[in-house]
A and B are shown apart, each in its own frame.
Chain A
């Protein structure tokens, strides 16, 4: 499981763009508001991996994150 943030981009915007790229992640508090306060972030994006995920799909995730950065550049 990988929770992450992208500078200057709200996790819900990350989620919407990744969704468009065919990648499902969660975005938000994950029922853990105290953790968000602790790290000083409004929310996080969170990718979870399962036994059926492939390396190619991880590459797609990385490419999609690059796309998010491009859109908000």
Chain B
């Protein structure tokens, strides 16, 4: 059970049960939808971007414990960050869950998000953890394009909302 408890840690179970920032955000100027058709995970990320800062970040959606906890902790981690800092967290998180970043051996800014390192040992679950991040990333990138665009092989679409 040691491997299992590494994936389903108390913090993850808690965020699954009581997701933070789990609401539609009135006044959001970026809205992105993430969808994994293979498993049915679906979420919408709401972002208020102001002068290069992620002022507010929230989400709604359905998914497994891993995806819900990843989305919940992501909103906490990214809120208040600059676009560049959010980009760094996205890159590091993605490299962690795909096994490219050794969070214990290499410098990183993941902090509490390191709790998701165990996901790399469950290849079938990597997309559960990364879907919210891909969706948030699409919202971040949204400024460069005012059209709805397909930003991933199978994951996200984003749009600017006026």
Contact residues in B for A20 (Cβ distance below 8 Å): 1, 3-4
Complex partner residue of A10 from B7, B65, B122, B124, CB under 8 angstroms: B65
Q: Which residue of B lies closest to A17 (CB)?
A: B4
For chain A residues 51-69, which have a beta carbon within 8 Å of chain B? none
For chain A residues 1-30, which have a beta carbon within 8 Å of chain B? 8-13, 16-17, 20, 28-29
Complex: A43 Cα to B63 Cα, angstroms: 10
Cβ B39 vs Cβ A43 within 8 A: yes
- Count, chain A residues at interface, CB 8 A: 17
Mostly, the B contact residues are helix
Complex: A8 Cα to B65 Cα, angstroms: 9
Cβ A16 vs Cβ B7 within 8 A: yes
Q: Determine how close the nearest CB of chain B comes to the CB of A69; give it in whole angstroms.
A: 13
Contact residues in A for B66 (Cβ distance below 8 Å): 12-13
B151 at the interface (CB under 8 A from A): no
Contact residues in B for A33 (Cβ distance below 8 Å): 40
Q: Which residue of B lies closest to A29 (CB)?
A: B40
Q: C-beta contact mask, A28-58 vs B, less than 8 Å → 1, else 0?
A: 1100010010000011000000000000000
Complex: A9 Cα to B64 Cα, angstroms: 7
Taking A10-B65, A28-B38 as given, write out 11 further A-B residue pairs in contact, using a Cβ cutoff of 8 Å, ordered by the A residue number: A9-B65, A10-B63, A11-B64, A20-B4, A29-B39, A29-B40, A42-B62, A43-B39, A71-B8, A71-B13, A72-B16
The chain A residues found within 8 Å of chain B, CB to CB, are 8-13, 16-17, 20, 28-29, 33, 36, 42-43, 71-72
Closest 4 pairs (CB-CB, A-B): A10-B64, A12-B64, A20-B4, A13-B65
Q: What are 30 inter-chain pairs, A to B, with CB distance below 8 A? A: A8-B17, A10-B63, A10-B65, A11-B64, A12-B64, A12-B124, A12-B128, A13-B8, A13-B64, A13-B65, A16-B4, A16-B122, A16-B124, A16-B125, A17-B4, A17-B8, A20-B1, A20-B4, A28-B38, A28-B39, A29-B40, A33-B40, A36-B40, A42-B63, A43-B39, A43-B40, A71-B4, A71-B8, A71-B13, A72-B16
